[in-house]
Structure 1
Amino acid sequence: MQNKKTLVLLFDYFYDVHFYKDVGMIPYYFHKMFGFNSTIVSYSQDKNTEEDCKGVIIKKIKKILLDPFILYILKNSKNIDLLMMFHNKEKNYFYRKLFKFLNPQGLTYLKLDMNVYNVEKLECFYNSFIKFKDIFKLKIKFIEKIKTIKRYFLYKKIKKELAQFDIVSIENKIFYEKLKQILSLNNLYYIPNGFFDLDENIPPVLSYDKKENIIITVGRIGAKEKNNKMLLNTLERIDLKDWKVYFIGPIEKEFLLKINDFYFRFPKYKEKVFFTGEIKDRNKLYDFYNKSKVFCSTSLWESFGIAMLEAAYFGNYIIGTDTGAIQEITNKGRLGTIIEFNNIEMLAKELQSIINQEKNIEKYCEQIKDFCMKNFLWSNIIRILFEVILNLKR
């Protein structure tokens, strides 16, 4: 490979919050570690500054009648070494075809960023593919036969299109094993998300005895997939004693009614349960992670769960539903507690046992921090991805 390579990510709406997720981290680490000229092309109108993006160029484009991503590829394809896209979408298939037609030597990378429902949908298509050879023998309704035939062709198309990318990656190890089985792709790689270990503002991780009795949850508070009402309903059933709970993240308007009702019925919790709103200052967010002992996730679905990983880095004991990468981050539940979806009693019992000191989480907090540093630092993960690229170029 030449000394100075170019990575371009096509991403519909890039906001400042995305920089600290995989969307921003992969271009940044390629720039920082391997000297790539990294550009994120987006419709976003956020006023990102060069400092905010730490050397990653944000190219803002306007929506017009003709897809502006197509125009960008037509104009810049010859100068792009690695074209990156997110999600299994029809338009990404076309961008790949156009780019490879104009620049056959360029590489294409599709990051699937799938949640459990995306994977289950593919499994459904795969099952129809298996059934297809006996479609006229199956004793099912005619409309079901039509649906099976449709899913059969969708499966064939998706498999064919994904196989044309140079690199396809999935963040979740369980999903990776499933996709290997149902798609049989030679270009499929397990590339997890990581922690921003090159951030100069990361404070030293506090030892457990210096942490406070704090439980946090982080994300878009009130979003359907986050299922924050489960934690709020759980708090009604436990005695927090000297513990505090922080809901950290922008609050959906509809959830404000739930919050007000909670405070109305439990006014004593106004001094124990807090909603911070969005925290853009990374130092302040790191401080919350660092002084907290427990991170709680009640999500119905996640593709990975960056906030959970950040909490693990700072030695938080993880309690969460079986979504995203909780199995990997907690080493299959050995370093945390995996709870059932919407099982308030189970969550209440777990939290109360920690508050009552019936369950000693101190040793787990040290272990999960070490486990995270060993397996989920972006600097290590990007080296693996870069090695994949080098092998393709050899």
Structure 2
Amino acid sequence: MKKNFTLYWPSFVNAELCKDLGVITMIFNKHLNYNSHILCRKNQENYDEVTREGITMHYTIDDDTINNVLENTDILLLIGFYDFNLLMIQRFKSINPKGKVYLKLDLNVHWLGRIVFGQDTLELLNQCSLISVECRNLKKTLHEKWPLKIEYIPNGYYNVGLNKNIEYKEKENTIITVGRLGIYEKATEILLQAFKIAAKELINWKLKLIGGIDPNFQIYVDNFMNINPELKDRIIFTGRINDRELIEEEYRKAKIFCLTSRCEGFPNVFSEAANKGCYIISSDIDPAWDITDDKKYGSIFPINDYVSLANELITVCSNEERLETVCKDIQIYTKENFEWTKLCNKINSFLNENDQILNE
């Protein structure tokens, strides 16, 4: 008989099916012999995309509905150190004491620094069967600060199309970034300023920015392009691309993936780009050290330092041999360490560790 796996994420929308919370829920359903469910608020979405994956939707309409879902849940997935998740741990364990809680912390260093908890919270967290964090540096910090067992499980990639090795000869002289362009955390202006400097040396290279543009940032973009008309054919804003196969194709064609963020958890785009053989250039955020394996497969520059980024772009783009070597090696590294099906098998093993000990 199949067990039930439930993601509780109040604000769930269809687009999150491609993010860590959705992919984990989907893989437990497709590959690990669970019936997957999502418990969230009812909103304007029809969730056809989710139900096509065989995942059952439940809505937090009333207490009876919520309690019924929780009573029949074997594993409850919670994302993030939020008050609503702490309350849900308490509620779930009171209704279903044998049920298991997996708390995926989804932390960054800034968020971690603001967390203060007392004995009550510690007792709640001790009721979790598994707590994980996405970055090695954060796991080390948590080990020193929290009297709890925390596992390291990074965010990975999950291909929707053909999972084949990418040959370097398939790639073009393109630097890409993917995300919500122009929000403060992403520091997209750093990438534009850096490319402006580097472009004089990198005559045959283009910059492609994939994602929706924050309305407040559009003014900056318009002004930047007016001041630098010579770059108008070399900087491409594609808008948001929802089709996963089209996104994967963009990664496949690019030689470099660049992220300029001021703070991040573990962005899914890192593993997606690395899986397609992109050299990673990132600001100095914790997950950059994981995805580049301490700079073996990429470069890391100081946050907000567009001059350092420009110099890095010139150095890396001019080194064809390095780009080709990394293209091959980063794919091997990523398949071994960041493939979501493997990561979910690891999660499942952690969750069932005690059961295996009891059965021995």
Q: Provide the rounded CA distance (Å) in 1 between the counterparts of 2:21 and 2:100.
A: 18
Q: Provide the rounded CA distance (Å) in 1 between the counterparts of 2:298 and 2:118.
A: 37
Aligned match for 2:164, one of 204, 226, 231 = 204
1:61, distance to aligned residue in structure 2 (A):
4.3
The letter of the residue matching 2:111 is N
Q: Contact 1:50–1:57 at 8 Å: present in 2 too?
A: no
Aligned match of 2:144: 181
Q: Contact 1:83–1:106 at 8 Å: present in 2 too?
A: yes
Aligned match for 1:37, one of 23, 35, 38 = 35
Q: Contact 1:84–1:110 at 8 Å: present in 2 too?
A: yes
Aligned match of 1:14: 12
Aligned match for 1:244, one of 184, 201, 206 = 206
2:210 aligned with 1:217: no
The letter of the residue matching 1:299 is S
The letter of the residue matching 2:137 is I
Unaligned 5+ residue runs, structure 2?
none
1:360, distance to aligned residue in structure 2 (A):
3.1
Q: Contact 1:301–1:323 at 8 Å: present in 2 too?
A: yes
Q: Say if 1:366 and 1:359 are closer, same or farther in 2 by CA, change over 3 A.
A: closer
2:75 aligned with 1:86: no
In terms of Rg, which structure is larger? Answer: 1
1:8, distance to aligned residue in structure 2 (A):
1.0
Aligned match for 1:229, one of 189, 192, 197 = 189
Q: Say if 1:53 and 1:330 are closer, same or farther in 2 by CA, change over 3 A.
A: farther
Q: Provide the rounded CA distance (Å) in 2 between the counterparts of 1:16 and 1:349.
A: 39
The letter of the residue matching 1:382 is C
Q: Provide the rounded CA distance (Å) in 2 between the counterparts of 1:51 and 1:177.
A: 36
Q: Provide the rounded CA distance (Å) in 2 between the counterparts of 1:203 and 1:81.
A: 32
TM-superposition CA deviations, 1:343-378 (whole Å, max 9, x none)? 111110111123334873211121111100111111
Alignment RMSD? 1.8
1:210, distance to aligned residue in structure 2 (A):
2.0
What is the DSSP-based 3-state SS (H/G/I as helix, E as strand, rest coil) of the residue aligned with 1:6? strand
TM-superposition CA deviations, 1:127-167 (whole Å, max 9, x none)? xxxxxxxxxxxxxxxxxxxxxxxxxxx34443333222222
Alignment of 1:1-394 (within 5 A): 3-43=1-41, 44-50=43-49, 54-61=53-60, 68=62, 70-122=63-115, 125=116, 154-186=117-149, 188-197=150-159, 199=160, 201-202=161-162, 204-238=164-198, 239=200, 240-357=202-319, 360-393=322-355, 394=358
1:293, distance to aligned residue in structure 2 (A):
0.1
Q: Say if 1:155 and 1:53 are closer, same or farther in 2 by CA, change over 3 A.
A: farther
Q: Contact 2:137–2:286 at 8 Å: present in 1 too?
A: no
TM-superposition CA deviations, 1:80-112 (whole Å, max 9, x none)? 111121111222222112211121111111111
The letter of the residue matching 2:138 is F
Q: Say if 1:111 and 1:98 are closer, same or farther in 2 by CA, change over 3 A.
A: same
With normalisation by structure 2, the TM-score equals 0.93
TM-superposition CA deviations, 1:150-190 (whole Å, max 9, x none)? xxxx344433332222221111111111112211213x222
Q: Say if 1:52 and 1:316 are closer, same or farther in 2 by CA, change over 3 A.
A: farther
Unaligned 5+ residue runs, structure 1?
63-67, 126-153
| Percent pairwise identity | 31
